[in-house]
Amino acid sequence: MNTNEAATNANNLQREQTLKAGGKAKHFHQFFTAYLIVVFLVVVVGLSSILFLLAQQYKHSQTLITEQLVSLQTQYLQQTYLINADKLIDSILKNIDSNELITLQQALSLQSRKLSLLKSEYKNSYQQWFSSNNLAMNLLTRIASSHTNNELVKSKSLIQLDTLLDAINIQLNNQQTDSKQAVLLSKVENQLTNIVAKLKRLDLNTTFRTFDQLSKQMDEMFVTDYAKQLANKQYESQGMADIVRDFIRFEDLILKDDLLAKWQDNLHLIEDYQQQLLAQQLQWQKIMDKLLVSQQEVDAVLAISDYAGINKEAVLFNLLPKWVVTAFAVVLISIVGLLLLIRRKIKVVSQFSVNSITRFIENEASALTAEEKDSFSQQRNHALYSAEAEQLIKKIQRINYNNHNEAEYLALTDKNQMLEDKVTKFDASAKSTSQLLVEQQRCKALHLTAIKQLVLLGASAVTTTIGASNKTDAGVAENHLNNAHHQGLDLVRKLRQASYYRYLQSSDALLTLSDVNLVALIQAVVLNSRNELILCNNKLSVSIDKKILSEVNLDVELFCEMFNVFIRLLFSQQKSRQLALKLNLVDKNNGQQKICFTGQVQGKEQIVQLPQALHGFSDDTTEQSELGDYFHTLLKNQHGYDVSAKLTEQAYHFSFTLPLAVANNQQEHHYPMLTLPGYLTDIENACVKLSAKYLVMPVEVLLAVKIPEKYQHLQQLLQAMGLQITFVSCELILQQQWKNGRFAVLITEIDCLPFTEFMIDKDEKFSCSDTLTRGVFSLDNLNNVTTKSECYSHWVQGELNAKSTVSELVTAMKPWIKEQSCGSLTPEEQVTQVTSSNDHIDVVAEGELVFASLNQALSFNFERYLKHQGSAELAIFMLEEYTTENTVLMEELSQAFTVNDVKKADAVIKVLLINSRILAADHLLQLCQHWQTLLTTQGLDKSEKVQVTLLSKTKQAVDEISQHAVTIA
């Protein structure tokens, strides 16, 4: 430690000791506590006085408002009731309906009652009006009672007059009426028409003048005695007689019921009632005028009182005692003085704190003398020295002692950020790894499930007898089996590819290296593609450079998968093409050789562009296809490189280079060119005959040989018998393929343990293997193959060789092959079993019933069903629900068919049609469409044999779907 550092530390120690010594300093707010208490007390006293005066003023104002509000409210209600009563009188004077008059009169009585209850100077008048309105109510009731009878008589009179006028018009239009009769009838008609017009307008508002005119016309008609005149001129006329009779009836109605007198009495009553109302209305208007004048006077008084109130406040202020005013002035002056003192004190204390902090900072860089120590100690003991200033000085001292500068802080921040990034990346990696593991396990489980379906398909095909009346029917059945098996193989391949792809992407992926024959692996992969080549009419040839050493060390499963995908990429979307595969040695050194794999595709037609799957290998900007990305992952794990795809004038090329480790002490060999497909010359005729004789079966045979090329003879004969052949050339692949349980027959010259439990049977109550006969055949008298335990005694066992004859192979493969021959029952007999005795079923229905007994695997397309559902978990979960619903719907359809319920049957068929589309059940879909056609054209008829047959076929299709679903789930 140098001299400067020692001096600095000594100064710091001295300052710390000085800061710790002495009494406690006051906090900043403690300097002003007394002043603030005094201000608070002054404010409280002043506010209390003001609130007291305001309360007294408010009480006085409320008293005045209450006194004036009552009178104003009473006057307002009085004016409102008077206005309502005036409106009701106007409505009564304009109304002619007696019932409505009673309602209006009741409302008027209610208004007068309300007025009589008010405390007013007109209370006596209101009570008199209320009494008169009650009397008027009784008058109206009497008027209404008589008015109803008067209206009834009036209506009868008008009806009689209308009848009389109609009879007169008919008589006038009669040609037999003479001129005298016509003149008299016209006169009567005119007179009656005038009476009708006035009688129709007769109501409670009719004036006495109008009523007198009507009465005068009536009297004139009766005095003239038209009835007698008409009777004298009727001349045996029935029409005139009817008119005379009607006229007499009219006279009787008017005179006996005394119509005019009753109406006259009612009019007098209503006129008196209206006169009373008018007198009442006139009095109310006078009261309203007086109330308005009174209201104006009140408004003027209120205005004057407001002004007087203001003056009273001024007077009240003048009457306040002088000591009250003096007290208010003292309070205000005291508050102002205290606030000024507080301001001055804040300023002094703040300035002292600033000076103290400044002196401490200035003295921080130099040593303290004895005088400075005393000065600093005295300053700290000063009355204005605050605790906040002392805390600030201590913090400044700590900052100066801090050893970490800004650069070190930034460095620590960067380091912390790097650690956070690493943690984030680790979390993402762990999450991705976990997700890949879950997906891999799910794909592996689905892969085993798909293999189970293939096994069940093979077992179903072997155990089911397919009757066919001709070659066409047999071909149809064979095509169904081929399609189902092909779809199953494609699904197994895709699921295995997905599982293996996720395994390679995970961190747990490891290479399992073993010494194998490269040429044998290539031959096995190429020969396994023979069926696909035939299907797409493609050709393939393989040529291998003789400099290549065949014994290599590699991951067998990874290489075989990569080479298989390499061929699929070359043949992507191609038909009738020729593929030339070439393996050329690029470089060779100690323990390693680099081989260039090249594929050239050409055909009769010119190729104008690369397949879509290869675009990603020719253009870096194009995104890789799913298959291309899978191939790139496989190649990357084997350290392959130099991948390219290019298009030439007549063909396109796809190549890559792969380094392979080689075994020591090898010699070069010549490898003959391998060309596919095509039969060997010596067995071509035999293969053609076998293909014509045997059905293609979904039964797979695993052929495990060391050199696959030498066993083409055996492969082609077995394929001609309808079996599906798969080559393997090493023990590792043999064990993997055989243990998964997919293959029914094993033919091997490689030593292995064939009698073992299959993966598809683990953790299963029902063994899929028991449904399919298993066979093991040795090609080289292997001990492990020829020796089996009692658990596998039901397996078929035997020996074959590369040159086994056709008869030997037929005998050995008897449990798994099937000839293309008619069944034991004719088509007519099979139909008869379903429909009892149906002599009139058409040919189409018979043909469908023949093939209704095909195996359960044809009941619906599981791969298409998976696509419809979107995920395998959802598909398997929903499968039981669909099958259960189909069974219930089938029972409902049977019930509807029994009672000929067309609507219910149509609803059931629609739901079944939807379910068949979801399940991809083509056969059930066709049956539902047939049902819809029948329901539209014929309806339901339980006695119709065609419909009985169709019902039986539909039930059978639903049962097959349920059975197939049980095997899947």
State which residues form the domain around 812. 453-594+662-816
User: Both 803 and 841 in a single domain?
Assistant: no
- DSSP one-letter code for 230: H
User: Both 728 and 579 in a single domain?
Assistant: yes
Would residue 340 count as lying in a domain?
A: no
The closest of 561, 600, 558, 552 to 577, measured between CA atoms, is 600
Would residue 443 count as lying in a domain?
A: no
User: Both 176 and 258 in a single domain?
Assistant: yes
Please identify, among 242, 275, 308, the residue that sits at the C-terminal boundary of a domain: 275
Question: For 46-80, what is each residue's pLDDT tens digit?
Answer: 778 777 776 776 787 777 777 767 667 777 777 77
Question: For 358-381, what is each residue's pLDDT tens digit?
Answer: 776 666 544 445 454 455 555 555
Total number of domains in the chain:
3
User: Both 504 and 481 in a single domain?
Assistant: yes
Please identify, among 782, 816, 850, the residue that sits at the C-terminal boundary of a domain: 816
User: Both 775 and 915 in a single domain?
Assistant: no
Residue 957 has pLDDT above 70, yes or no: yes
Where residue 459 falls among pLDDT bands split at 50, 70, 90? confident
Question: For 806-822, what is each residue's pLDDT tens digit?
Answer: 999 999 999 898 887 54
Residue 600 has pLDDT above 90, yes or no: yes
3-state helix, strand, coil in the chain (%, to 5): 70, 10, 20
User: Both 799 and 889 in a single domain?
Assistant: no
Least confident of 219-228, 893-902, 919-928: 219-228
Question: For 834-846, what is each residue's pLDDT tens digit?
Answer: 333 333 333 233 3
Residue 765 has pLDDT above 70, yes or no: no
List the 700-704 sheet strands across, edge first. Answer: 724-728, 700-704, 745-748, 775-778, 796-799
Where residue 705 falls among pLDDT bands split at 50, 70, 90? very high
The model carries a pTM of 0.46
Would residue 325 count as lying in a domain?
A: no
User: Both 843 and 797 in a single domain?
Assistant: no
- Name the average pLDDT for the chain: 74
Please identify, among 244, 275, 306, the residue that sits at the C-terminal boundary of a domain: 275
User: Both 734 and 812 in a single domain?
Assistant: yes
Are 285 and 86 spatial neighbours (Cβ–Cβ below 8 Å)? yes
Are 505 and 636 spatial neighbours (Cβ–Cβ below 8 Å)? no
- pLDDT value of residue 448: 79
User: Both 694 and 807 in a single domain?
Assistant: yes
Structure tokens at 44: 């409280």
More confident site: 923 or 458: 923
Question: Distances from the Cα of 794 to the Cαs of 567, 739, 745, 772, in angstroms?
Answer: 39, 18, 13, 11
Question: For 856-888, what is each residue's pLDDT tens digit?
Answer: 445 777 777 777 776 676 777 788 888 888 899
Would residue 783 count as lying in a domain?
A: yes
Least confident of 117-131, 798-812, 830-844: 830-844
Overall average pLDDT of the 312-326 stretch: 55
- pLDDT value of residue 482: 65
What is the CB-side half-sphere exposure of residue 302 using CA atoms within 13 A?
Answer: 13
Are 121 and 291 spatial neighbours (Cβ–Cβ below 8 Å)? no
Where residue 469 falls among pLDDT bands split at 50, 70, 90? very low
Where residue 405 falls among pLDDT bands split at 50, 70, 90? low
Residue 728 has pLDDT above 90, yes or no: yes
The 3-class secondary structure across 420-486, one letter per residue, is HHHHHHHHHHHHHHHHHHHHHHHHHHHHHHHHHHHHHHHHHHHHCCCCCCCHHHHHHHHHHHHHHHH
Would residue 601 count as lying in a domain?
A: no
- pLDDT value of residue 63: 79
Residue 198 has pLDDT above 50, yes or no: yes
- pLDDT value of residue 235: 64
Overall average pLDDT of the 706-713 stretch: 91
- pLDDT value of residue 561: 92
The closest of 185, 101, 172 to 137, measured between CA atoms, is 101
Question: For 601-648, what is each residue's pLDDT tens digit?
Answer: 998 888 888 888 888 888 766 777 888 888 999 999 999 999 999 988
Would residue 472 count as lying in a domain?
A: yes
- pLDDT value of residue 471: 44
Residue 173 has pLDDT above 70, yes or no: yes
Overall average pLDDT of the 926-945 stretch: 81
For residues 653 and 646, what is the distance between their CA atoms, to the nearest angstrom? 5
For residues 679 and 825, what is the distance between their CA atoms, to the nearest angstrom? 36
Least confident of 96-100, 337-341, 362-366: 362-366
User: Both 795 and 833 in a single domain?
Assistant: no
Would residue 915 count as lying in a domain?
A: yes
User: Both 797 and 936 in a single domain?
Assistant: no
- pLDDT value of residue 658: 94
CATH number of the domain where residue 167 is located: 1.20.1440
Residue 968 has pLDDT above 90, yes or no: no
Would residue 241 count as lying in a domain?
A: yes
User: Both 764 and 867 in a single domain?
Assistant: no
Question: For 517-541, what is each residue's pLDDT tens digit?
Answer: 999 999 999 999 988 888 888 999 9
Handedness of CA 736, 739, 745, 749 (dihedral sign): positive
